[in-house]
Amino acid sequence: MDLPKHAVTLDQAQSWIANWQSRKDIPGMSIKANLIPAQDVNDILMKDTGFTEYRGYNAINDEGEFKFLLVGVNASGNDMVDYEKGYYVYDMTTPCPSVCSLNRWWER
């Protein structure tokens, strides 16, 4: 199956989310934010998908890199993940640290 740009396989998404959820050693500031390229979001939004919202899941890929996976959400508040219907899990972020803002507006 050919996936759209930035979509990950369902097996990868499930594995990466489990990697995050099973960790006990991640301090609160290990991952501060995620950089999401506007064009990547536009690529998803341009589709007529029926999404009313999006939900993000923290994840860790098999190489140990922090990820933020994005799925569409329907009007009932349920995730829309069905690869046969074209509802994919997307990986399009780069974590901070590695691409952090130099302007630390969140610090007091």
pLDDT-above-70 percentage for the chain: 81
Determine the average pLDDT of the residues in 10-36: 78
Confidence category of residue 66, pLDDT binned at 50, 70, 90: confident
User: Look-up: residue for tokens 């506007």?
Assistant: 38
Nearest to 89 by CA among 13, 35, 4: 13
Backbone φ and ψ for 3, nearest 5 degrees, come out as -95, 155
Nearest to 68 by CA among 106, 42, 102, 40: 40
Q: Which residue has the higher pLDDT, 88 or 101?
A: 88
Q: Name the pTM for this structure.
A: 0.73
